């Protein structure tokens, strides 16, 4: 096992698993897990070795996120957003901030989602204009993971002057004019601190632009979408693995005393568990094939990128539905470890790009139509 996987397995077992229930019940940010990832160099996992990072790629990031998601999807999602934002900064940011990221001195996230464009994250309605002091940003971002805890936002806006759908910026979260709404109180992913962020005449330097003016969409498609999709797919797979293990533990340890038999001795129960295992493995196979397609720049890479998130999201909801059925009334008890994952799994299908949007994109691709 690679050193980074040994480190994250230990963090998942000793910290993430122990805090998962409290994170869910109280909506607390998983700070202890993020601190542990920082202390072991995991926040710099995909930063280049030349700036002090571990120099790993999408496969390593995906395996880390999947391991965390087995225990706590909120922790996995915070990490997913950090790695995705880091990938953009690593490619387009200044060396100084890249070194800071590699050393774990920043927690980064994406600030794309807006009320005005809903889940169409590629089409911001927020603005950026040039003035004598630099660039002035105005926006209301709808969902920003780690909003209160991230120190860097990868931020989208309309272009200043160029053609194109968007421009990306590096925005420190403590910039004057940034305001963050109250805490997140949602159905699932309760510890991911996802909440609206507003920018009112926020001034940033011109050199905070990531890429060129108007190139935001291209960066989203080439850098953000592939990594984000494989990492959200990893979250779904981790949820399925965790739920399958919890369901198996429950049925093996729960008995009909009058028959002196366990639930696992019932063929119907074993059949449901088998369906969970098959669905999880199918999603995993597609996910691993997507990672191989990314690593080899295969011709079908974008199709696989679109498919893996859709498949993982749909499979996770089905597997968690089945886990609730397998565990029966006990599944409603928090200590069984199923109902939390049941709620968390719902996010995968509605998080942009939503599953319905992905189906449309995939349909266009296989019909030979322009996808975007």
Asked if 111 and 157 count as a contact pair (C-beta separation under 8 A), the reply is no
| CATH 2.40.110.10 holds for 110-214 | yes
CATH code for residues 3-107: 1.10.540.10
DSSP-derived secondary structure letter, 354: P
Identify the band that residue 2 occupies on the pLDDT scale cut at 50, 70 and 90.
Answer: confident
pLDDT in tens, 271-293: 999 999 999 999 999 999 999 99
Domain ranges of the chain: 3-107, 110-214, 217-366
Architecture of the domain defined by 217-366: Up-down Bundle (1.20)
Q: Do domains 3-107 and 110-214 have the same CATH topology?
A: no
What is the layout of strands, in order, in the sheet containing 167-172? 108-111, 152-157, 167-172, 209-210
Long-range own/partner contacts, residues 12-17 (CB < 8 A, 24 or more apart): 12/67, 12/68, 12/70, 12/71, 13/71, 16/68, 16/71, 16/72, 16/75, 17/71, 17/72
pLDDT in tens, 218-243: 999 999 999 999 999 999 999 999 99
Determine the pLDDT at residue 294: 98
Summarize the chain as % helix, strand, coil (round to 5).
55, 15, 30
pLDDT in tens, 242-254: 999 999 999 999 8
Q: Among 47-56, 59-68, 108-117, 316-325, which is the least confidently predicted range?
A: 108-117
Determine the pLDDT at residue 1: 61
For residues 214-227, one letter each, b for 16 or more C-beta atoms within 10 angstroms of the residue's C-beta and e for the rest, the string is bbbbbbbeebbbbb
- Dihedral sign for Cα atoms in the order 321, 193, 185, 112: negative
Three-state SS sequence of 164-197: CCCEEEEEECCCCCEEECCCCCCCCCCCCCCEEE
Q: How far apart are CA 224 and CA 204, in angstroms?
A: 22
Determine the pLDDT at residue 244: 98
Q: Taking residues 59-84, report their average pLDDT.
A: 98
Query: How open is the CA angle 72-32-16, to the nearest 5 degrees?
Result: 25
């Amino acid at each position: 096992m690679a050193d980074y996987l040994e480190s994250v397995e230990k963090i998942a077992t000793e910290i993430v698993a122990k805090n998962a229930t409290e994170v869910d019940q109280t909506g607390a940010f998983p700070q202890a897990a993020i601190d542990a990832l920082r202390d072991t160099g995991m926040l710099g996992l995909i930063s280049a070795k030349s700036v002090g990072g571990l120099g790993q790629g999408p496969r390593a990031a995906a395996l880390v996120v999947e391991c965390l998601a087995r225990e706590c999807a909120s922790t996995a999602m915070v990490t997913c957003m950090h790695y995705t934002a880091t990938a953009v900064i690593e490619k387009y940011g200044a060396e100084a901030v890249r070194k800071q990221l590699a050393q774990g001195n920043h927690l980064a996230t994406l600030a794309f989602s807006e009320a005005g464009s809903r889940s169409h994250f590629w089409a911001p309605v927020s603005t950026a204009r040039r003035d004598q002091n630099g660039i002035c940003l105005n926006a209301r971002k709808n969902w920003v993971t780690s909003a209160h805890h991230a120190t860097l936002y990868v931020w989208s806006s309309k272009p200043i002057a160029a053609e194109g759908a968007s421009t990306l910026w590096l925005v420190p979260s403590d910039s004057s004019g940034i305001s963050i709404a109250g805490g997140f109180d949602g159905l699932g992913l309760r510890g991911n601190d996802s909440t609206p962020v507003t920018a009112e005449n926020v001034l940033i330097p011109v050199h905070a632009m990531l890429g060129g003016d108007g190139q935001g969409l291209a960066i989203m498609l080439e850098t953000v979408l592939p990594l984000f999709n494989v990492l959200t797919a990893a979250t779904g797979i981790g949820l399925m693995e965790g739920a399958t293990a919890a369901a198996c533990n429950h049925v093996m340890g729960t008995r009909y005393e009058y028959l002196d038999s366990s639930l696992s001795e019932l063929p119907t129960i074993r059949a449901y568990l088998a369906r969970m295992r098959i669905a999880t493995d199918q999603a995993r196979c597609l996910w691993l094939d997507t990672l191989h397609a990314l690593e080899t720049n295969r011709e079908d890479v974008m199709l696989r990128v679109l498919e893996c998130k859709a498949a993982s999201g749909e499979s996770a909801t089905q597997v968690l539905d089945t886990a609730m059925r397998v565990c029966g009334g006990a599944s409603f008890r928090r200590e069984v470890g199923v109902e939390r994952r049941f709620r968390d799994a719902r996010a995968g299908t509605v998080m942009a790009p939503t599953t319905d949007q992905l189906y449309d994109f995939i349909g266009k691709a296989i019909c030979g139509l322009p996808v975007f």
